[in-house]
């Protein structure tokens, strides 16, 4: 049976959708830019982390933004779990221990994303550190003492104001339900500057207000 115009249109639609999704595998070192994902720890703990008994959610840690990961990206979609890379050795995980809220996340991030960077584990985690050191957290989110409400646009503007060269079209604010989840910042491959990323920005939450839980 001929596929017809409607069938062709559907194939085109699904092809476009898959191009913007995760690609299983990939060639290490072949990507276009990085995304630095900073997780708002209180939001993670309120949604799933505390229920799982995550160490980062223990009372008194008072964690705000923590590194979720540094992700190699294509212009549309991203590689993952690239073949041919070894497990991260203990010494590399230990060197990165202050970057992530727990070592298990560091191991997971290396396997899923670091293996696609074309770097060794040590080089990759040092790249994570360079990326994190480049981003200043806005003061109101550093010193937040109690839960409040804002909008995704306000979060983007606050990060742009705190980081010269960073514009709202280079940032994606994601939510879980009506609560702040992550801020994702797009960076050049050499991590020297920020860059726009329309495909990443499409995953952002658009409407407010959103709840911003306080560190505890």
Indicate which residue of 94, 113, 123, 156 is catalytic: 113
77-89: burial string, b at 16+ Cβ within 10 Å, e else: bbbbebeebeebe
Whole-number Å distance between alpha carbons of 149 and 112: 33
108 is catalytic: no
Taken in order 76, 77, 83, 84, is the CA torsion positive or negative? Answer: positive
Q: Which of 68, 87, 108, 156 is catalytic?
A: 68
**183: Cα within 13 Å, side-chain hemisphere:** 31
Active site residue 113: yes
Query: How far is Cα 91 from Cα 94, in angstroms, rounded to an integer?
Result: 5
CA–CA gap between residue 179 and residue 198 (Å, rounded): 22
Of 23, 95, 109, 123, catalytic:
109
Measured distance CA(139)–CA(64) in Å, rounded: 11
Tokens of 59: 């009372």
Active site residues: 68, 109, 113
């Amino acid at each position: 049976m001929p596929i017809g115009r409607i069938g062709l249109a559907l194939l085109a639609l699904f092809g476009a959708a898959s191009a913007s999704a995760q690609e299983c595998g990939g060639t290490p070192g072949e990507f276009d830019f990085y995304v630095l994902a900073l997780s708002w720890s209180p939001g993670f703990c309120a949604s799933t982390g505390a229920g799982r008994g995550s160490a980062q959610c223990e009372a008194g840690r008072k964690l705000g933004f923590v590194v979720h990961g540094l992700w190699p990206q294509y212009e549309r979609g991203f590689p993952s779990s690239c073949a041919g890379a070894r497990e991260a050795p203990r010494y590399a995980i230990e060197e990165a221990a202050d970057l992530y809220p727990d070592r298990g996340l560091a191991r997971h991030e290396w396997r899923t994303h670091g293996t696609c960077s074309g770097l060794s584990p040590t080089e990759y985690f040092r790249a994570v550190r360079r990326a994190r050191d480049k981003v200043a957290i806005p003061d109101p989110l550093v010193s937040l003492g109690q839960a409040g409400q804002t909008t995704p646009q306000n979060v983007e503007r606050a990060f742009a104001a705190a980081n010269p060269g960073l514009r709202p079209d280079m940032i994606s604010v994601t939510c879980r339900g009506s609560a702040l989840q992550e801020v994702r910042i797009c960076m050049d491959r050499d991590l020297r500057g920020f860059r726009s990323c329309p495909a990443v920005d499409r995953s952002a939450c658009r409407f407010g207000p959103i709840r911003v839980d306080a560190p505890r």
